[in-house]
Chains A and B, each alone.
Chain A
Amino acid sequence: EAAVTQSPRNKVTVTGGNVTLSCRQTNSHNYMYWYRQDTGHGLRLIHYSYGAGNLQIGDVPDGYKATRTTQEDFFLLLELASPSQTSLYFCASSGTIYEQYFGPGTRLTVL
């Protein structure tokens, strides 16, 4: 089964702080995604990528940057974190654009 790992699993930062969330997949999938999950909003797509060096904007990109350094690694960057970015973040990968394999999530708290 497809394996997606995320680190850290939990992160607390202060308003204005810098945060990097990491995601690695070991299945040679071309597509990787970053989502945030919030009660009442479901899963919302932040950024995604078709492959190393490629970046695409999702539905809620404001305040987030992303970088895909290799086929396996996808990072989400919050350069000036705000309390509104307190959320549960999921990374996913896919060999096609349809069946996505999710990581275990990172819970981020911005104080």
Chain B
Amino acid sequence: QQKVQQSPESLIVPEGGMASLNCTFSDRNSQYFWWYRQHSGEGPKALMSIFSNGDKKEGRFTAHLNKASLYVSLHIKDSQPSDSALYFCAVNYAQGLTFGLGTRVSVFP
């Protein structure tokens, strides 16, 4: 069964700073990788996907994928208080997506 591990568990970032989130997965056949974000009191929402090795940038968010190293990351540039949330890495498997336990990001002014 696919295993997805995230680090760190929590992250405190100053406003305007960079947040870096890490994710490793176990199945070398995985093809599709997502980052989801969950604000307090809400359901998770897809933030961005990455399917090919390398970097993908969407605004202040950059995802990086290295399938050979079983590694995916998310970097948040110029962090804002509204970025404070729980971030999940999700990786495809037969039944859909396996989610990591999440990284809680707190951005302080």
Contacts and interface: CB of A to CB of B under 8 A. Distances in A.
A90 B45 CA distance: 12
Contact of A40 (B1, B34, B101): B101
Contacts, number: 52
Interface in A81-111: 90, 92, 94, 97-105
B96 A33 contact: yes
A102 to B, nearest CB: 3
B88 A99 contact: no
A108 to B, nearest CB: 15
A100 to B, nearest CB: 6
Which of B43, B88, B99 is packed against the most chain A CB atoms within 10 Å?
B43
Given A42-B88, A42-B102, A43-B88, A102 B96 contact: no
A98 B97 contact: yes
Interface in B61-108: 88, 92, 95-97, 99-102
B61 to A, nearest CB: 16
Interface of A: 4, 31, 33, 40-43, 45, 48, 56, 58-59, 90, 92, 94, 97-105
